[in-house]
Structure 1
């Protein structure tokens, strides 16, 4: 799956436990009728992927949905969901590299000598 949006916040990398589990969170705001603020976590070596990004950039993030079950000491079962990113790319950069530049409108000359009868090649 993937999500697109503008980076609103990038958190610092945090380390947890004795094994050195690393996690870094990023919040993106989607651009739709009702914008959503989505918190996406990058874990372990994927935390470094966020080093080249900054607030305000438009990005596309490849994600996996994660869910887990937990039973509290009172015996109640709780469920938690998370969005885990594994790839991120700058949309603005990919658009400019994939598509040739569009010339400005004033770079074209108007067709003043156009005669519709000469160019009508429709069969009806």
Structure 2
């Protein structure tokens, strides 16, 4: 799958365990210019470097896989999670003659997602 959007935020690489690392990117997607969607993609292991060299505000195309998995909590309730796992990011050529993408002018400033909440017991 592919999606085109604008880089909203680039996360730092997180070393989750000794042998597993991941990194997130938030992409502003404006299929309908009135309602900009902020979509989180993740890259894992060696692919965390695909977000290197990107800058906030840059137009990109993300190639990704949709993954889903169940998780059962201590009370036996099963919840299902989806992940958008990026495997390639392509910068889109911005030329002076091209018009700006609709909907991006009204986007709010990037939000700092670096804070963590250690209170949840989710497995990731």
TM-score (norm 2): 0.71
Any idea what the Cα deviations from partners look like across 1:10-48, whole Å, max 9, x if unmatched? 0100101132x1101000101222221000001111111
What residue is the counterpart of 1:52 in the other structure? 53
Question: Runs of 4 or more off by more than 4 Å in structure 1?
Answer: none
Tell me how many residue pairs correspond in the alignment.
95
Q: Which has the higher helix share?
A: 1
- Unmatched segments (≥5 aa) in structure 2: 98-124
Q: Which has the larger radius of gyration?
A: 1
Q: 1:2 aligns to what?
A: 2
TM-score of the aligned structures, taking structure 1 as reference length: 0.71
Let me know the Cα RMSD of the aligned residues: 1.6
1:112 counterpart residue number: none
Q: Which runs of 5+ in 1 are unaligned?
A: 103-124
